[in-house]
Amino acid sequence: MIRSTAKHSFAKPIILLLAFVALLAISLTRDFHSASSSAYVSLATTWAPDKYRINVSNQNQDVGGGSNKDRYPERALSMTYADLPAPELKWEQMASAPVVRLDGYSLQIKDLLFVFAGYENLDHVHSHVDVYNFTSNTWTESFAIPKDMANSHLGVATDGRYIYIVSGQYGPQCRGPTAKTFVLDTHTRKWESLPPLPAPRYAPATQLWKGRLHVMGGGKENRHTPGLDHWSLAVANGKALEKHWRKEVPIPRGGPHRACIAVGDQLYVIGGQEGDFMAKPGSPIFKCSRRFEVVFGDVYMLDESMKWKQLPSMPKPVSHIECSWVIVNNSIVIVGGTTEKHPVTKRMILVGEVFQFNLNTLTWSAIGKMPYRAKTTQAGFWDGWLYFTSGQRDRGPDNPQPRKVVGDTWRTKLRLL
Distance CA(301)–CA(303), nearest Å, equals: 6
Q: Higher pLDDT residue, 308 or 48?
A: 308
The distance of Cα 32 from the centroid of its chain, to the nearest Å, equals 34
Q: Is 351 helix (H, G, I), strand (E, B) or coil?
A: coil
Distance CA(413)–CA(246), nearest Å, equals: 42
Q: Using CB atoms within 10 A of its CB, is residue 165 exposed (0-12), middle (13-18) or buried (19+)?
A: buried
What single letter denotes the amino acid at residue 20? F
Per DSSP, 52 falls in state: G
Contacts of 149 (CB under 8 A, 6+ apart): 117, 127, 165, 168, 170, 178, 180, 182, 191
The distance of Cα 269 from the centroid of its chain, to the nearest Å, equals 11
**Domain 50-413 of CATH type 2.60.40.10:** no
Cβ–Cβ < 8 Å for 233, 183: no
Distance CA(311)–CA(307), nearest Å, equals: 13
For residue 49, what pLDDT is reported? 30
State mean pLDDT over 168-194: 98
Alpha helices in 152-214 (DSSP H): none
Q: Is 252 helix (H, G, I), strand (E, B) or coil?
A: coil
CA proximity to 39, closest of 29, 50, 52? 52
pTM above 0.75, yes or no: yes
For residue 38, what pLDDT is reported? 29
Phi/psi of residue 68, nearest 5 degrees:
-60, -35
The distance of Cα 155 from the centroid of its chain, to the nearest Å, equals 14
What single letter denotes the amino acid at residue 380? G
DSSP per residue, 181-193: EEEEETTTTEEEE
| pLDDT for residue 25 is more than 90 | no
CA proximity to 333, closest of 410, 394, 270, 393? 270
Cβ–Cβ < 8 Å for 353, 366: yes
Predicted confidence (pLDDT) per residue in 320-368, tens digit: 999 999 999 999 999 999 999 888 788 899 999 999 999 999 999 999 9
The radius of gyration of the chain from alpha carbons, rounded to an integer in Å, stands at 25
The partner residues of 226 in beta bridges, in order of sequence, read 219
CA distances 27 to 13, 21, 23, 37, 333, Å, are 21, 10, 6, 16, 47
For residue 40, what pLDDT is reported? 23
State mean pLDDT over 112-128: 98
Tell which phi-psi region holds residue 190, choosing left (phi > 0), alpha (psi between -120 and 50) or beta.
beta
Distance CA(182)–CA(42), nearest Å, equals: 50
State mean pLDDT over 75-91: 72
Distance CA(68)–CA(65), nearest Å, equals: 9
Predicted confidence (pLDDT) per residue in 272-304, tens digit: 999 999 999 999 999 999 888 999 999 999 999
Cβ–Cβ < 8 Å for 298, 286: no
**Region of poorest pLDDT, from 26-30, 48-52, 59-63, 111-115:** 48-52
Distance CA(232)–CA(284), nearest Å, equals: 35
Q: Higher pLDDT residue, 62 or 79?
A: 79
